[in-house]
Amino acid sequence: MTDLHYLSLSEASALLRDKKLSPVEYTQALLDRIGTLDSKLDAFLKLTPDIALADAKRAEDEIQKGGWRGPMHGMPYGLKDIIDHEGLPTTGHSKILEGNIAKNDAPVAAKLRAAGGVLMGKMSTHEFAIGGPCFDLPWPPARNPWNRNHHPGGSSSGSGAAVSSGMLPAALGTDTGGSVRNPASMCGIVGMKATYGRTSRRGVLPLSFSLDHIGPMTRTVRDNALLLNVIAGHDPRDPGSADVDVPDYTDGIDDGVKGLKIGIIRHFYNKDEQADPEMAQSIEDAAGVLEGLGAEVREIQVEPLQVYAACNRTILLSEAYAIHEKWLQERPEDYGDRTRGRLLGGAFIRAADYVNATRMKRKLIDHFYAAMSGLDAVVTVSSMEPACEIDDDAKVDRTYPRQARAVFNVTGSPAVAVPTGFSSDGMPLAMQIAGAPFQEAMLYRVAQAYEDATDWKDRRPPID
């Protein structure tokens, strides 16, 4: 009880439900921690203590009267600052939208509010979820709690840094080419990109209509499943939303992997790209853990990583440019240099290339699921190397695209990043577990078995 900031969502929820911990006390403890740490990490764009304490008091009153809405009742959380919360700015970490006030909640924010959640604030992001760590914006970029001189991944960078450092038990991010799973990988936490259409994207600043996802970020697998339980569901006003029943993602989460068939995609990190040796070895070690727990692990082949990356890049940049064209023409100087450069690349992609990329996407989806035939899940690398120094532009530009996350934005399949250890200099390592559409529960089952067999979730960054 003296270390409230590192309670898991599951642990804190049980204490709140049983009236052994006050939501107001818990919220204040985290606000105090944010007050101590955020000047070092810049995870928050806007801290909302008044809203948080009001939400916490309302939750406390309901619990005292015997009301209980579920695991998010009285639970602090953060929203990436491209997700609308009524009455608060949604800036996209950009001068372009400085002062933009949301008129309504995004559906995912409304669901968290209805579940009794306690909003702590809006989280730092790469500009418009694409720019990378930039120092020429109105607000500084977030930093990695394992080494504040390193970047925390992105674009959901503030969400990753805050959850990892014990400022929040949970946060939402978005993922178009890996932007939930990258900060999860870099910060040593769990990040899920659920199946395309599993969560509503309405009320969220778009980057690429064909590839955008919303995802939960937590310190443990079970917490991640609990958060996805809240935000998943069909939204008839989101044209990409899937009208598919939502299960309880914690059902079967402890069933283990004995008898499961798991593929491993090695060529992504030992042929298509050469991953950092420690990162590659961590994937092999994780596969060994799963085998030791009774899973059958076998190598599979899919299309080369570069094909997926080119498909994702062509679609993403084309659609992002279409979204930003007017601002780029009228206010180009108000973008950060890195953001502007990336977005302008979309202006030079031919319509024929975009059409061909969308056709290739369909072929890649079919090929991936054919390769998965008879398998329950696949594992592979997330980032090819650990986080680098945040102020080394050349290194950031070189290492940032070295990843295998965009693969699963192209296929639309669920993929979760989980910690697999630490490099020799103390930076987190990670893998991805991916699977068939709407099989998030299976991925959580595999991830939970691995988490239970290791102690990575119990390690704490040296930020205090």
pTM score, whole prediction: 0.98
Tally of domains within the chain = 1
151 lies in a domain? yes
User: What is d(CA 276, CA 66) in angstroms, rounded to the nearest whole number?
Assistant: 53
Does the pLDDT at position 330 exceed 60? yes
Does the pLDDT at position 43 exceed 50? yes
Does the pLDDT at position 1 exceed 70? no
pLDDT per residue over 228-269, tens digit each? 999 999 999 999 999 999 999 999 999 999 999 999 999 999
Does the pLDDT at position 100 exceed 80? yes
What integer pLDDT is reported at residue 464 of this predicted model? 82
What is the rounded average pLDDT of the residues 80-95?
98
CB 426 within 8 A of CB 360: no
Half-sphere exposure of residue 409: CA atoms within 13 angstroms, side-chain side: 34
- Sheet strands side by side (includes 118-123): 44-47, 118-123, 76-80, 170-175, 213-218, 190-193, 415-422, 428-434, 377-381, 261-264, 296-299
Q: Quick one: which H or E segment has residue 120?
A: strand 118-123
pLDDT per residue over 215-230, tens digit each? 999 999 999 999 999 9
Mean pLDDT of the chain: 97
49 lies in a domain? yes
At residue 29, φ and ψ (nearest 5 deg) are: -60, -40
464 lies in a domain? no
Q: Quick one: which H or E segment has residue 290?
A: helix 277-292
What is the rounded average pLDDT of the residues 279-286?
98
What integer pLDDT is reported at residue 131 of this predicted model? 87
User: What is d(CA 418, CA 429) in angstroms, rounded to the nearest whole number?
Assistant: 9
Does the pLDDT at position 152 exceed 70? yes
463 lies in a domain? no
Does the pLDDT at position 362 exceed 50? yes
SS3 229: helix
Catalytically active residues are 80, 155, 179
Range of the domain at 113: 4-458
Q: Which two tokens stand for residue 226?
A: 């609990």
As a whole-number percent, the residues of the chain with pLDDT over 90 amount to 99
Does the pLDDT at position 454 exceed 50? yes
276 lies in a domain? yes
What integer pLDDT is reported at residue 253 of this predicted model? 98
Which CATH number do you get for residue 121?
3.90.1300.10
Does the pLDDT at position 2 exceed 70? no
What is the rounded average pLDDT of the residues 383-393?
96
DSSP-assigned states of every residue in 381-433: ESBSS---BTT-HHHHHHHTT-BSSHHHHHH---EEEEEEEE-TTS-EEEEEE
